[in-house]
Structure 1
Amino acid sequence: MQNQQQGIINPKYCAPHNVDLAIVRKVLTLTDTFSVTDVNSKMIFNLSASLLTLHNHRVLVDAAGQPVVTLRRKMTTTHDRWQVFRGESMEMKDLIFSVKRSSFFQLKTKLDVFLANNTREEVCDFKVKGSWFERSCVVYAGESLTIVAQMNKKHTAQSIAFGKDNFMVTVYPNIDHAFIVALILILDEINQDKRQSQN
């Protein structure tokens, strides 16, 4: 399990120490765009969606603009299933992991994460528990209480003035931070849908 965790998307996104990331969501544009930086404001990842692909799939790219993973929603499922593929592929042979809501009715969002080789999906490989109202979430290893990453919202005067949502994410040692970023983006998409359905 440990080796698997070390490079779910790519071993180069693992570090032997905690990694703090800032995820900035700009919400004033026609579509939400996300940028992910380190504590020194150095760009690591970017995610933007065109209106055409807004709900079907999004591509996470690295600082050089190279596709890291494609996030795709399966449209016909009741549990909000998302699939994450290597690069720009959407073929099953390039599937890295899939995510679904643990149950249909939830006050706090809980997501089950299954790596591609876990085809039976009897026990999840990771679990995401997020409070939609508090904009915070914790990622656990499987059904355990072992935390591998956590996120909380960061308010600054600038973020309020410029219509940006800032999230601080701490990724624990030897955990793939591209994987964690992809999970948080999926959590946000599911929460956006939840908010729209309640309006």
Structure 2
Amino acid sequence: MSGKPASHRLPSPQSESRVSAAMEEEHLGAAAVVGKKFCSEEERELTVRKTSLFFPGDGFAAYDHKTGELIFRVDTYARREPSFSDHHLLLMDPDGHPILTLRRKWPSLHQRWEAFVGERSEGQKPLFAVRRSSIFGRDRSCFAVEVHQSGGSEEEYRIEGSFAQRCCRVLYEGGGGEEAVILAEIKRKVDACSQVVLGRDVFSLCLRPRCDAAFAMALVIVLDKITGDNDDVILEEQVSSSAEDPSPIIDQQKPADH
């Protein structure tokens, strides 16, 4: 990162903290998408592990980074459905109770996915939808998220970065020209003992205070379904950052702790 000119003063950490806290408080209502029980007043980190290495999105397990407790798991009905266009995935709690049904909408040039509360029933309206912002160029790496409110209004979020590189973040767009707020980030996971960067089958989902964990986990599943690990849209600065990072990378290694 290039240094700032001496004439420019950076805001103090205390000032940045106050601004951040005020923005988080202002957007409290936007954070609970699936339910308040999935929101925490503190920052959280989930360790996400792909349980199927052959089909994108077919299996995930998410654990609390500190306790190792299983928080979410994912199952798919894609290979059991008679019609490929009707396949869907279930985001479940540790006991196997469905939280969200995720379903690809056909046809859709922007690869639109819709999320339904619980186990989807015929005629049920989606809670939110995710799609590519564009089908051309670098904007293909950005995603738009529309959350449908009960009163008919919509909340807008966006996802920017490269999921294939496990380097992206979820932002709440707000409205009326307000600055976007970071709700969650997907990052490469580093083994605590060896300080080795783990492979892409194990990564971190970092949640800001009041972020809906079920909502964030659902976005992870959809991103994996749309881009997989071979997305050809990678931002130049991320490629440069990877090239400069000398840390060794080990693929398909399981973390020592969850």
TM over 0.5, yes or no?
Answer: yes
Structure 1: any 5+ residue segments left out of the alignment?
none
How far apart are residue 33 of structure 1 and its match? 1.2
- Tell me which of 142, 164, 168 is aligned to 1:137: 168
How far apart are residue 137 of structure 1 and its match? 1.1
**TM-score (norm: length of structure 1):** 0.82
How far apart are residue 119 of structure 1 and its match? 6.3
Distance 2:55 2:32 in 1: 34
One-letter amino acid of the structure 2 residue matched with residue 153 of structure 1: R
- Tell me which of 41, 47, 52 is aligned to 1:22: 47
Q: CA RMSD in A?
A: 2.9
How far apart are residue 154 of structure 1 and its match? 1.9
Asked whether 1:87 is paired with 2:118, we answer yes
Deviations 1:156-199 (A, max 9, x none): 57x66xxx711101111111110000011111111029659xxx
Distance 2:230 2:107 in 1: 16
Structure 2: any 5+ residue segments left out of the alignment?
1-25, 233-258
Matches within 5 A, 1:26-175: 26-28=51-53, 32-39=58-65, 40-50=67-77, 51-53=79-81, 56-91=87-122, 93-107=124-138, 109-117=141-149, 125-142=156-173, 144-154=179-189, 165-175=201-211
State which structure, 1 or 2, has the greater radius of gyration over its C-alpha atoms.
Answer: 2
Asked whether 1:10 is paired with 2:10, we answer no
Q: Tell me how many residue pairs correspond in the alignment.
A: 191
Distance 1:195 1:131 in 2: 8
Asked which structure has the greater RCO (Cα within 8 Å, sep 6+), the reply is 1
Deviations 1:102-150 (A, max 9, x none): 00124461110001139687xx611011314422110011174321110
Q: Per the alignment, in what secondary structure is the counterpart of residue 16 of structure 1?
A: coil
Structure 1 moving runs of 4+ over 6 Å: 118-121
Moved more, 102-111 or 89-98: 89-98
Q: Percent identity?
A: 28
How far apart are residue 42 of structure 1 and its match? 0.6
How far apart are residue 93 of structure 1 and its match? 4.0
**TM-score (norm: length of structure 2):** 0.65
Distance 1:184 1:101 in 2: 14
Q: Higher strand share goes to which structure?
A: 1
The answer as to whether partners of 2:164 and 2:229 remain within 8 angstroms in 1 is: no
